[in-house]
Amino acid sequence: MSQAHESLENLLHEERCFAPGIEFAASANAQPEIYERAERDPLAFWQAQARELTWEQPWSAVLEWDMPYAKWFVGGKLNASVNALDRHVGQGRGDRVAFYFEGEPGDTQTITYAQLLMEVKKAANALTEIGITAGDRVAIYMPMIPEAAIAMLACARIGAPHSVVFGGFSADALLSRIQDADAKLVITADGGFRKGAAFALKPAVDEALKGKHNVEKVLVVARTKQETAWSDRDIWWHEIVDRQPLEHVAQSFDSEHPLFILYTSGTTAKPKGIFHTTGGYLTQVAYTHKVVFDIKAESDVYWCTADVGWITGHSYIVYGPLINGTTQVMYEGTPDTPHKGRIFEIIAKYGVTILYTAPTLIRTWMKWGDEFPCAHDLTTLRLLGSVGEPINPEAWMWYREIIGGNRCPIVDTWWQTETGAIMISPLPGITATKPGSAMGVLPGISAQVVDDSAKPVGNGRGGFLILDKPWPSMLRGIWGEDDRYKQTYWSRFEGIYFAGDGAKLDEDGAIWLLGRVDDVMNVSGHRISTTEVESALVSHEAVAEAAVVGAADAMTGQGIVAFVILRGGIAHADGEALLVELRNHVAKQIGPIAKPRQILIVNELPKTRSGKIMRRLLKDVAEDRQVGDATTLADPNVMKLIAAGLQSAKDED
Ligand code: WTA
């Protein structure tokens, strides 16, 4: 954690603190007593949150905890899609806008709750006609268009767990996820719009399905209308969905019925299929969305800029906001298309009041310059959120001043695919916030910062972030990999969930996240494992061995730096051409987000006598630092050679 310790030094000097405005505090959804209420009786507290949902059958027990397996609201029955849609329409809110959709080329759609419900019902009928029944897994590989949310809700409606695969992943990555979940159906689109052009998605599905799988049908949304290869397996979305009956009576499912699987990177090459169930997950996403974002459904226009391919899109675009009857903006494209003010233009156009985005985008805006946000009216904004990686105090201050006009509280929200919902965050009407700190655990949640022997470190000290009590939206396991579930999360500290993050408590007990302490990188808020990229590199015929590290990067948080040893005796492209080939190879294996920022060809890697690669030393090189203690290296000269090689590569630049 050497890098973590350095940033710690800076944090110690942070003395700025911003209390909530009096007016905001007075009308905030969460009032100070909430902490005490949750503390007094956490299970009664969660039970009260669960009662906000619509259940067909009440639960008989709030929690059954058989470490490390939790069951929440046991015996209860409900339907996720009914909670997100039917109950709003049933209570006369059908005309409220659910989504203002903004396509990248400028096409728009306004979709009310009644319309969204109708589309979801038709899609659910279509899935049933195709032969999908409760328990079948459905892979969803889509651009950011309304049909992505409709597909997810239609799956949930019939009890078929969805596995959304981010549209930026490659055919290979898609296939491995289809295989792991044993999906029966893939829902995709011909393509989507990004950076001013149509990109294709369907060919990646076709490519993936050349592998071994049990996919019977592919449902294809016509988004770009580009030329698309077709087979007997393929069905156009509009051809089957449009002719379906408008009625669909949803069946309720057990509270612990699997709602979805979402793959995320771990410390090995194989992604983990994190799976979530229904009642507890929906309870916590709806509750956190309501209190953290202070949602006033009648008046707010909320915009979470995440993609549905990530957990943030699941919890804070699809499930949480719709359960709370929120009006949202959904945007298909990139923030700089057709110009760098696109996001701000959309905020002004729809009068967005709550914006939830990622530090990497905030830093990008800072780099582009204040003139872009300043050219648009952002005065409707009243609350700002951040997620995905630690937000630097400078970026936090810029977000507050330039985007929030010094008037909006900022909620820096810490959570994970595994936690399902926000765990650590200020509450906007209660917490006085410090720039760069996620502040404290939410009411109902229990977390600690501990040392190597699981002892709480106390204020002013750093350590490992752990969650020491079960929470409703916690993962229920890794799909099909029980031992890995226990090994990954519950073995570092016996019987305690270890999140993989380092954290520090300041003198006041506020929590500062310090990034991952394992072999997982965080690039623009996306988790990528070092091993995954190493395996991709080694699968190229020119590569004998590879070591990958995440190096601090001013824009993306971390950048991927790879050290590669080439195989002797085989012909391969030389110099720059080979590096391009290797980068493209990684993109093909995993997806463009995993492309190394830099690849260095080396003759040796620093290894301990037992053969373990010392990534810590490579990280020092990649971050331009004095190389740390190398005394345990089998060959102490290796680092000098690597550093010299790096220097000559730089000289050539
Ligand atoms: C990191 C995203 C600091 C952290 C919701 C975590 C954060 C990983 C924050 C989970 C934050 C997320 N401050 N770090 N506010 N939010 N992280 O699964 O390292 O894509 O373990 O979930 O992102 O990433 P995931």
Q: Quick one: how far is CA 89 from the chain centroid?
A: 29
Q: How far apart are CA 382 and CA 46, in angstroms?
A: 28
pLDDT of residue 13: 65
Domain 113-251 maps to which CATH number in 3.30.70.920, 3.40.640.10, 3.40.50.150, 3.40.50.980?
Answer: 3.40.50.980
Q: How far apart are CA 603 and CA 53, in angstroms?
A: 60
pLDDT of residue 9: 47
Q: How far apart are CA 557 and CA 336, in angstroms?
A: 19
Find out whether 608 and 632 touch, Cβ atoms under 8 Å: yes
What is the CB neighbour count within 10 angstroms for residue 608?
11
CA 585–ligand 1 middle distance (angstroms)? 27
Residue extents of the structural domains in the chain? 113-251, 540-652
Residues lining ligand 1, Cβ inside 6 A: 264, 310-312, 387-390, 412-417, 438, 499-501, 513, 515-516, 522, 527
CA 389–ligand 1 middle distance (angstroms)? 5
The answer on pLDDT for 153 being more than 70 is: yes
Q: How far apart are CA 315 and CA 292, in angstroms?
A: 13
Find out whether 613 and 626 touch, Cβ atoms under 8 Å: no
Find out whether 523 and 556 touch, Cβ atoms under 8 Å: yes
Q: Which two tokens stand for residue 198?
A: 């149509």
| Over residues 160-179, mean pLDDT | 96
Phi, psi of 332, deg, nearest 5: -80, -35
Query: In b/e form, how buried is each residue of 219-240, taking b as 16+ CB within 10 angstroms?
Result: bbbebbeeebeeeeebbebeeb
Secondary structure tally for the chain: helices H, strands E: 23, 30
CA 639–ligand 1 middle distance (angstroms)? 32
Q: What amino acid is encoded at 285 in this protein?
A: V
CA 601–ligand 1 middle distance (angstroms)? 31
Confidence of residue 3 (pLDDT cuts 50, 70, 90): very low
Q: Which of 7, 281, 416, 437 to mutate to test the pocket of ligand 1 (most atoms within 8 A of CB)?
A: 416
Q: How far apart are CA 311 and CA 333, in angstroms?
A: 18
For the chain, the distance separating the N- and C-terminal CA atoms, rounded to the nearest angstrom, is 31
pLDDT of residue 83: 98
Q: How far apart are CA 22 and CA 27, in angstroms?
A: 9
Phi, psi of 160, deg, nearest 5: -95, 110
What beta strand segments (E) does 468-625 contain?
A: 477-478, 497-505, 511-516, 520-523, 526-529, 543-553, 557-566, 598-601
Confidence of residue 624 (pLDDT cuts 50, 70, 90): confident
Kindly report the protein residue whose alpha carbon is nearest to atom 11 of ligand 1. 414
pLDDT of residue 650: 56
Q: Which of 418, 527, 528, 558 to mutate to test the pocket of ligand 1 (most atoms within 8 A of CB)?
A: 527
pLDDT of residue 644: 74
What is the CB neighbour count within 10 angstroms for residue 402?
18
540-652 topology per CATH: GMP Synthetase; Chain A, domain 3 (3.30.300)
Confidence of residue 642 (pLDDT cuts 50, 70, 90): confident
Kindly report the protein residue whose alpha carbon is nearest to atom 22 of ligand 1. 416
What percentage of the chain reaches a pLDDT higher than 90?
84
| Over residues 45-58, mean pLDDT | 98
Confidence of residue 648 (pLDDT cuts 50, 70, 90): low
- Write the pLDDT tens digit of every residue in 288-335: 999 999 999 999 999 999 999 999 999 999 999 999 999 999 999 999
- Of the candidates 384, 601, 462, the one whose C-alpha atom is nearest the C-alpha of residue 373 is 384
Query: In b/e form, how buried is each residue of 627-650, taking b as 16+ CB within 10 angstroms?
Result: beebeebeeeebbeebeebbeeee
In sequence order, the β-bridge partners of residue 147 are: none
| Over residues 209-228, mean pLDDT | 98
Q: How far apart are CA 477 and CA 484, in angstroms?
A: 9
Q: Which two tokens stand for residue 54?
A: 């619509």
Kindly report the protein residue whose alpha carbon is nearest to atom 8 of ligand 1. 416
- Write the pLDDT tens digit of every residue in 253-265: 999 999 999 999 8
What is the CB neighbour count within 10 angstroms for residue 61?
12
CA 293–ligand 1 middle distance (angstroms)? 18
CA 390–ligand 1 middle distance (angstroms)? 8
Find out whether 192 and 146 touch, Cβ atoms under 8 Å: no
Confidence of residue 635 (pLDDT cuts 50, 70, 90): confident
| Over residues 390-405, mean pLDDT | 95
Find out whether 625 and 551 touch, Cβ atoms under 8 Å: no
What percentage of the chain reaches a pLDDT higher than 70?
97
The answer on pLDDT for 146 being more than 80 is: yes
| Over residues 58-64, mean pLDDT | 98
Q: How far apart are CA 100 and CA 331, in angstroms?
A: 8
Give the chain's mean pLDDT: 94
Q: Which two tokens stand for residue 346?
A: 């959309």
Q: How far apart are CA 504 and CA 507, in angstroms?
A: 10
The answer on pLDDT for 89 being more than 80 is: yes
- Write the pLDDT tens digit of every residue in 347-366: 999 999 999 999 999 999 99
Q: Which two tokens stand for residue 580?
A: 């391009």
Same fold across 113-251 and 540-652: no
Q: Which of 315, 387, 424, 514 to mutate to test the pocket of ligand 1 (most atoms within 8 A of CB)?
A: 387
Helices (DSSP H) in 186-319: which residue ranges?
202-208, 237-241, 279-292, 311-313
The answer on pLDDT for 238 being more than 80 is: yes
